[in-house]
Amino acid sequence: MVLTIHHMGISQSERIIWLCEELGIEYKLIKHVRDPVLAPTSLKINGNDTGKAPFIEDPESGITLAESGAIVEYILARNATGELGGYLGEKKLAKKYGEKGYVDYIYWFHYANAGLQPAMMGSMFLDLVSLDNDDRTKTWADQRLHATLKHVDDRLAEAKWLAGDDFTAADIMVVYSLTTQRYFGPKVSYKGYANIVRFLGDVKERPAYGRAMEKGDPEMRLLLGEEPPVKTLVEAGGVGSDVWKK
């Protein structure tokens, strides 16, 4: 009995499809379409109290779960062979306590949704209201956003992947916030963040990433380069527009 992934197009649930593709585990994909920006009523499923994406159902254990970080940890633990730690055969996407890279792994795994994503969303919301460029709140949010991006960029200057030499689930957590999130804002360019751009180039080379994006969002133009979209989906009125399409 395979895991069911509820994926909403152009959303954080791309992380879960990507994780399963990297691990090579089978899953059933149920797609939901934004209405036209927020989550549709089809995501108001028993167990999904917030009605957001991602959401998974595991028929084997009867467990349902929301929150991408929790889901990633659940899938890694569920598929761990031997000791807990996200092993699947030779594939290993988590670091264990005591292992080289462990502290960086947990730090960047959590930084994705606790540091980077809030900074992106704070700037996204401020971009949506008409504030003067020298508005204090906007200035502070911009400073916070760029300090956050610099923090990620500095890490990627010293390591190929966020946990070190090995690609891990921490990279999966961070990539949505740097890429697809920009369809909603902020319209931030990565000019000056050469290490982030290099990292996104390495992500593009991963076959599992390509497969995940093709399965989850086959129409979406991937935002792996320096420049953000000219117009966000919010400005364009939602997914009915074609600003996000290839």
Question: Smallest distance from the beta carbon of 9 to ligand GSH, in angstroms?
Answer: 10
Q: Which residue, 16 or 200, has its beta carbon nearer to ligand GSH?
A: 16
Question: Smallest distance from the beta carbon of 71 to ligand GSH, in angstroms?
Answer: 7
Question: Smallest distance from the beta carbon of 196 to ligand GSH, in angstroms?
Answer: 20
Q: Which residue, 39 or 145, has its beta carbon nearer to ligand GSH?
A: 39
Q: How far apart are CA 75 and CA 57, in angstroms?
A: 11
Chain residues binding ligand GSH by CB under 6 A are: 8, 11-12, 38-39, 52-54, 67-69, 113
Residues 178, 17, 219, CA angle at the centre, nearest 5°?
70
Q: How far apart are CA 200 and CA 34, in angstroms?
A: 25
Give me the residue label for tokens 């998974």: 56
Q: Which residue, 126 or 195, has its beta carbon nearer to ligand GSH?
A: 126
Question: Smallest distance from the beta carbon of 99 to ligand GSH, in angstroms?
Answer: 25
Q: How far apart are CA 99 and CA 14, in angstroms?
A: 28
Q: Which residue, 34 or 155, has its beta carbon nearer to ligand GSH?
A: 34
Tokens of 191: 């000019």
Question: Smallest distance from the beta carbon of 139 to ligand GSH, in angstroms?
Answer: 26
Q: Provide DSSP, 13-46.
A: THHHHHHHHHHT--EEEEEE--SSSS--GGG--T
Question: Smallest distance from the beta carbon of 62 to ligand GSH, in angstroms?
Answer: 21
Per DSSP, the three-state class of 158 is helix
Q: Which residues lie closer than 8 Å to 26 by C-beta, 6 or more apart?
A: 2, 3, 20
Positive or negative torsion for Cα 33, 36, 37, 40: negative
Q: Which residue, 87 or 183, has its beta carbon nearer to ligand GSH?
A: 183
Residue with CB nearest ligand GSH? 52
Q: Which residue, 87 or 171, has its beta carbon nearer to ligand GSH?
A: 171
